A and B are shown apart, each in its own frame.
Chain A
């Protein structure tokens, strides 16, 4: 069976580009704090979501709606309404992280398929089976902390489908629990849907060098002609004593393209591309690349050579935790 390519769409145009480029499935979110990419000018209102789902279905693709932030106390109705509207729009599944919201969806919208977001950080078979038995979760998006043998071990112990990230930005090793953005800006992806919100980012050109401040803190400086990273604390360059370097993570993108055969053998159902904040150009290029790879694998042909370096953060790539070669 062909591995499912699950790709991001931040706008209706990106959704159409993804479907055209060969995505089996597109994931997207509403234009509010219910999804973890709540950036200015991004996401779908209800009418756009309905039209996007219809377009995808007309072309044989599915749509997953990410409602993967954690409801604020006293405002749960916003998240409940998002789940209800996703079902009304015809979504094929919702991607949820919060246990309370999973319970609400399972009880109030039992016919709506539920996927467990990476924000839930479910990284072993016991917890995944708990989500399946309690909330009838059909698929889990695995956090980017697992090696390929660990993913195989999980799949051996669960009937829940697994979806893994194969391309795009990397997070620190505690997805759904990271407070770095909150520390610098008061806003976090978990609660507000924004990591390092643009409203708190300041770029300053300093004689060709690029200084980046987040919440007033200088988090990195890149010299002329050096690739720039995203303005997140986890990619910040820090000095301590006589040493200066990237404390949490290097500014690189995940690219597990060459590991697709191993991921298939490990029992993975779906390959996820990160980047709802990216353009339709990115979506089209990355989807084409990965669709060609899974089609080649299915046909027994060698994997084609990818050309995705230019689209990568810092213009550099890594296989991340899949091959644990940490420094």
Chain B
């Protein structure tokens, strides 16, 4: 049976170019604030991490010039962007679209592994716990970002919709999941 064409888009070159020169410290701080907001709403996500609740994970979008170090820090997560390779208990690598699709429940982690779009290195059990914890959390990053942006929520949502349409990146949960 033929396998359908690879549905995973590549990250826009402009974003990669921006991240090559952008200062990473303020971005890291913003991402930390954002993830802490997510953590407050989804404490069960950290319970699912079990013994890995204080382990650092390296999330490596292979089409970007940065990696993201995620430290769950027992429920008060810290995020650090770096242009180095980063070290942690486990490394999860793949195109940004695949990683965002996993977060939003649009893609299946095992299927991405079978197709080699996702690569796991280091402690496989830690990576599995992270994958399962995120899959259960039913996250919607765009919705959370809009919630945080106050009066700018509406234009931000419009911008996100436009970016999603142009790039094919999953910045929100697929519609049927949101409606349920």
Contact = CB atoms under 8 A, between A and B. Distances in A.
Interface of A: 10-14, 16-17, 20, 39-42, 197-199, 201-205, 210, 222, 224-231, 277-282, 284-285, 307, 309-317
Given A14-B136, A203-B119, 10 more contacts: A13-B136, A40-B52, A40-B126, A41-B50, A41-B129, A199-B125, A205-B119, A278-B109, A279-B102, A317-B1
B49 interface: yes
A3 B109 CA distance: 29
B113 to A, nearest CB: 6
Contacts of A20: 176, 180
B85 to A, nearest CB: 13
* Residue among B106, B116, B135 having the largest count of chain A Cβ atoms under 10 Å: B135
A276 to B, nearest CB: 10
Interface string B57-81: 0000000000000000000000000
Contact of B48 (A41, A277, A311, A315): A41
B135 A11 contact: yes
Interface string B148-180: 000000000000000000000000000011001
A310 B132 contact: no
Contacts of B30: none
A14 B136 CA distance: 7
Contacts of B180: 16, 20
Given A281-B106, A310-B111, A197 B125 contact: yes
- Chain B interface, DSSP helix/strand/loop, else mixed: helix
B136 to A, nearest CB: 4
A12 B138 CA distance: 10
Q: Which 8 A-B pairs have the closest CB atoms?
A: A41-B132, A41-B129, A40-B129, A11-B136, A198-B125, A282-B108, A199-B125, A201-B124
Nearest to B119: A205
A41 B51 CA distance: 10
B99 interface: no
Interface string B107-150: 11111011110011101111111111101111000000000000
A52 B127 CA distance: 25
Given A279-B110, A314-B114, A41 B133 contact: yes
